[in-house]
Copies of this chain bind each other. A is one copy, B any other.
Amino acid sequence: MEASSITCQIPSAINDIHLIKHALPQWTNVEGQVLVKFAASPINKVDMMVLSGSYPVSPSATHDGAPIPGFDGCAVVVRSNSSRFQPGDLVIPARLGLGTWRTHAVFPDENLIKLPRDTPPLAAALLRSNVAIAWLLLHEVIPLKAGDWIIMTAGTSCVAHFVVQFAKIEGVKVVLVVRDSEEAEEDRERLLGLGAEMVLTEAEVVARPSFPEPIVLALDCVFGPTGEALLDVVATGATYVLLGVLRGINETVILKAKHLFTKQITLRTFRGSAILAQKEDGGVEALFDGLAQMFVDNLLTIPEIDVREWPVDESVMREVLERVQANTPGTRKCVWLFKDD
């Protein structure tokens, strides 16, 4: 077997990122040691921030001294010196920075979390940064019950894809907001088909529509005029959560005293990693296991993804990274899918 890794400098000019081939990582027969082969590794926003040097956590993995990026992904156990893992087990990293943009890695067992073996690799690769975040947004912001209405911007995002599906299972009604674009009608049809209760364009939300029921939660990835419109359309006592700043960190919202004082809206942000970090021993593993099992049981579907087979040609790799970096609205989630040997 031949191994390969993407290595780079941090911060990295995309031309300095290379796919290198090398021997399998060294197996030293240490107690608790596990050799894995990656199955699928997504390119997340955080990975691009790491490459640009704007993320506070750096890769802890290196090859010949060069950092190996990739914070998320899933792998299959090839060889194990740990009683907790058997060859064939499907695993995901237990913490950030382990380097998932490579075929093979040797980890101590405490760095891995086991998932059901028949979890689809693409689902497992999205589990932490997309599936679990969507689940936490519905369960760890405010108490939601069947019949509640919520609104979410970036309606075509991977997280929104899972928010809609979890909400549908629990009877929560989701209004999705999509950007104003030529694809808006197509997006609307697709997202209604997925289970969204309503789909509006940003312009339609700024026009302050009314809703059949009060909106108790707004999940906003856009801010600016769209965020402001959300404050106007949500119900008294609602919570507004800023999840991302797709239009850039310099956007502002005109916050009215009425929003806070009369409508009693609470405004806050959300850090999924902080919530996961507060879970008691075993809580995170149980959550990931349960979510993965929902894919096995066909309760969740995987969104349309830009799958790139590994090993990739370096020029293709750079083109992919540049496209993800540019972050054009509607860019699909991109995942490295590792070929079986």
Find chain B residues with CB under 8 A from A255 CB.
252-255, 267
Task: Tell me if A21 is interfacial: C-beta within 8 Å of chain B.
Answer: no
**Cβ proximity bits A124-155 to B, threshold 8 Å, 1 near / 0 not:** 00000000000000000000000000000000
Q: Are B266 and A258 in contact (CB under 8 A)?
A: no
A89 to B27, CA, bound (A): 82
Give the size category of A's interface with B: 20 to 34
Q: Are A254 and B252 in contact (CB under 8 A)?
A: yes
| A251 in complex: contacting residue of B257, B264, B267, CB < 8 Å | B257
| A261 in complex: contacting residue of B242, B261, B262, B265, CB < 8 Å | B242
Find chain B residues with CB under 8 A from A264 CB.
268-269, 271
Stoichiometry, copies per complex: 2
Find chain B residues with CB under 8 A from A249 CB.
257-258, 261-262
Find chain B residues with CB under 8 A from A261 CB.
223, 242, 244-245, 249, 269
Find chain B residues with CB under 8 A from A245 CB.
257, 261
Overall SS of chain A's interface = mixed
Task: Tell me if A29 is interfacial: C-beta within 8 Å of chain B.
Answer: no
Query: Which chain B residue has the least Cβ–Cβ distance from A274?
Result: B264
Q: Are B271 and A268 in contact (CB under 8 A)?
A: no
Query: Which chain B residue has the least Cβ–Cβ distance from A243?
Result: B261
Q: Are B251 and A254 in contact (CB under 8 A)?
A: no
Beyond A252-B254, A255-B255, A266-B267: 16 further Cβ-contacts under 8 Å? A223-B261, A242-B257, A242-B261, A244-B261, A245-B257, A249-B261, A250-B256, A250-B258, A254-B254, A255-B267, A260-B267, A260-B269, A264-B268, A264-B269, A266-B268, A267-B267
Can you sample 17 A-B contacts with CB below 8 Å? Answer: A244-B261, A245-B257, A248-B257, A249-B261, A250-B256, A251-B256, A251-B257, A252-B255, A254-B254, A254-B255, A260-B268, A264-B268, A264-B269, A265-B268, A266-B266, A267-B267, A267-B268
